[in-house]
Amino acid sequence: MLNQRFPYAKEIVETVIENAYVWIVIVDANGRVIYMNDNYCKFCEVEKHEVVGRHVTEVIENTRMHVVVESGEEEIADLQYIRGNYMIANRIPIYADNKVVGAFGTVMFRDTKEWHEMNSHVRHHLSSLPSFLEQQDVTGAKYTLNDIYSCSQVMAELKEKIKTIASTDSSVLIRGESGTGKELFAHSIHLLSNRSEKPFIKVNCGAIPEQLLESELFGYEDGAFTGAKKGGKKGKFVQANGGTIFLDEIGDMSLHMQVKLLRVLQEKEVEPVGSTKTIPLNVRVITATNRPLESLMDNQKFRNDLYYRISVIPLYIPPLRERIEDLETLVRHFIKKVSLRTGKRISLIHEEVMETFRHYHWQGNIRELENIIEAAIHLAKADVITLDAIPDYIKKKHVFSEQELSLKEMLNEAEKNIIKETLKKYDDDRKKVAKVLGISKSSMYEKIQKYGIK
């Protein structure tokens, strides 16, 4: 009757079942296999025509399909260990004439890793919903991948990698120059993880004096030292328990603190200052730095064992100059963002300005771009951003003469110009410039003297 009304019904149903995302098996009232789709057969390394009629226990490892037939009770989202993997299986009894005549089973996620990755994927799509945004205020994490504006292939691949690794509990080390948005990625990883409803605690290791960092990270007991808060204080690690702690500028941490941090990461417990008791921890650690950790390790300024502990999953955020195709997307975003905040309407940015931006080095990366757009909007005389509204140092082109110069001479000239412009940008704050350029203060003074910079 069905074939008379729908002549290709059999072919349609078979095609749908065979190409379904899930793996499917159907058994009769005696637990014998009636049907098993191709993907499931391939995974179990059995031939489709050979499994029909065999008892399901002879075909699928640790199956409970025969149990469901006997009990008549469904089993949803049950873990099943098959061929070295834990899988998430559903088993549903089939009723006819008020009795169980069989059962069908599906495996939706082929292993728990796949399930976690799907969770991260779903959270990414939920991240624009109001309820999700309200949750961000509670946890402390503010940014999702939707807040990272880009159109380049390298950033698209990086975002996909974030979705994949977010579901794990492995430590993540985020590398990248200052201003590339490392913190935004840390927030995104937390919000896409299974810890998204738990605290996200941020610590800037370079902004806290060394003598205070230990009590800030690990907390202290009542009376632990002079001036200690009555009743003691919870450290950042305890505040982050169950969630994620983000240690920014990890490369600025002293060797003394590195030893203490390493112990906490290894033992998964923390001992507050002045206490004799330890507190067990369940915290995911994300770290970030713009400093060359490999060079620091070579100079015994950063511990090798700590490096390998925090960099289980390394991520690199490329500088803006290496993904210049993102420039237009970022400019449009910042114009809209700043215009809304300031109330000044900007409808256009002149092509000459964009061309100037494309040839600029962007030492300060996205943070520098946002600051320049904000200044330009304030300085714009109409609703169009022109060259008059952007800083002179952006417009200056570093062009080498056509005379033959050695590679060393060209590099020296480029280095000299970069140092001069950066000193100008930071009002001759040489300590700040050295940090921004990733060199020591002594190296900065040597280069200033070498190039005769005043």
Domain at 439, CATH number: 1.10.10
Domain carrying residue 22: 2-110
Whether 402 maps to a domain, the answer reads no
Helical axes 112-126 vs 153-165, angle rounded to 10°? 120
Nearest one of 149, 179, 161, 157 to 319, comparing CA atoms: 179
pLDDT band at 252 (very low <50, low <70, confident <90, very high): very high
Judgement on whether residues 12 and 62 belong to the same structural domain of the protein: yes
**Which of 70-74, 115-119, 264-268, 294-298 has the least mean pLDDT?**
115-119
pLDDT above 90 coverage of the chain, percent: 46
- Decide if 400 is inside a domain: no
pLDDT confidence tier of residue 242, bands split at 50, 70 and 90: very high
Q: Are residues 71 and 196 in the same domain?
A: no
Copy the structure tokens of residue 317: 């955020």
- Neighbour tally for 341: CB within 10 Å: 10
Is pLDDT of 95 > 70?
Answer: yes
Residue 16, helix vs strand vs coil: helix
Average pLDDT across the chain, whole number: 84
Indicate whether 363 and 414 sit together in one domain.
no
Residue 183 lies in a domain: yes
Residue 372 resides in a domain: yes
Quote the pLDDT of residue 409.
64
**CB distance 103 to 69 below 8 Å:** yes
Kindly give, in sequence order, each residue whose CB lies less than 8 Å from that of residue 416, ignoring residues fewer than 6 positions away: 447, 451, 453
Helix intervals (H) in 229-350: 236-239, 255-267, 293-298, 304-310, 327-342
Looking at residue 349, which CATH number applies to its domain? 1.10.8.60
Instruction: State the CATH number of the domain containing residue 307.
Output: 3.40.50.300
189, 141 contact by CB (below 8 A): no
Q: Which residue has the tokens 């080095």?
A: 361
Residues 129, 243: one domain? yes
pLDDT score of 117 more than 80: no
Q: How far is CA 264 from CA 165, 223, 236, 337, in A?
A: 23, 23, 12, 41
B/e letters for 173-195, b = 16+ CB within 10 Å, e = fewer, are: bbbbbbbbbbbbbbbbbbbbbeb
* pLDDT tops 90 at residue 228: no
Looking at the structure, do residues 391 and 424 belong to the same domain, yes or no?
Answer: no
- Mind listing the pLDDT tens digit for each residue in 350-407? 999 999 999 898 988 999 999 999 888 888 888 889 998 888 888 876 444 444 555 5
Mean pLDDT in residue range 143-163: 91
- Residue 321's pLDDT is 92
3-state secondary structure of 86: strand
For residue 399, the model assigns a pLDDT of 44
Does one domain contain both 150 and 257? yes
Position 401 scores a pLDDT of 42
Is the domain of 57 the same as that of 142?
no
Residue 336 has pLDDT above 70, yes or no: yes
pTM value > 0.75:
no
pLDDT for 400 equals 42
Is residue 86 domain-resident? yes
Q: Are 143 and 239 in a shared domain?
A: yes
Residue 376 lies in a domain: yes
CA dihedral 344, 348, 349, 352 (to 10 degrees): -140
Clarify whether residues 141 and 258 are in a common domain. Answer: yes
Between the alpha carbon of residue 262 and those of residues 78, 255, 287, 393, 447, the distances in Å are: 37, 10, 13, 44, 36
- 364 vs 16, higher pLDDT: 364
Q: Do 420 and 162 form a contact (C-beta atoms < 8 A)?
A: no
In a domain, 351, yes or no: yes
279 and 331 fall within a common domain: no
Per-residue pLDDT for 431 more than 80?
yes
CA 253 – CA 210 distance, rounded (Å): 8
pLDDT given for residue 411 in this prediction: 62
Strand partners, 105: 25, 91
Which range (48-57, 329-338, 399-408) has the least confidence?
399-408
* φ, ψ dihedrals at 33, nearest 5°: -70, 125
Compute the average pLDDT of residues 24-51: 90
The pLDDT, as a whole number, for residue 125 is 47
Q: Tell me what the mean pLDDT of segment 135-154 comes to.
A: 82
pLDDT reported for residue 415 = 73
Instruction: Based on the fold, state whether residues 233 and 122 are members of the same structural domain.
Output: yes
| Same domain for 389 and 300 | no
